[in-house]
Amino acid sequence: MSLSKRVLAEVFGTFWLVFGGCGAAVLAGGTISWVGVSFAFGLTVLTMAYAIGHVSGCHLNPAVTLGLAAGGRFDWRDVVPYWIAQVIGASVAAGLLYLIISQHADFSLTEGPVGKGFAANGFDEHSPGGYPMMSALMGEIALTFMFLFIIMGSTDKRAPAGFAPIAIGLGLTLIHLIGIPLDNLSVNPARSTGPALFVGGWALSQLWLFWVAPLIGGGVAGIAYKFLFEED
Per-residue pLDDT reduced to its tens digit, 212-230: 999 999 999 999 999 999 8
Model's pTM, two decimal places? 0.96
Percent of the chain exceeding pLDDT 90 equals: 89
- In whole numbers, what is the pLDDT of the chain averaged over residues? 95
pLDDT bucket at 112, cuts 50 / 70 / 90: low
> Which residue type sits at 174?
L
pLDDT bucket at 30, cuts 50 / 70 / 90: confident
145-190 confidence digits (pLDDT tens) = 999 999 999 999 999 999 999 999 999 999 999 999 999 999 999 9
Q: 3-226: what fold? A: Glycerol uptake facilitator protein (1.20.1080)
Rg value, the chain, Cα? 17
pLDDT bucket at 14, cuts 50 / 70 / 90: very high
Nearest to 172 by CA among 26, 43, 34: 43
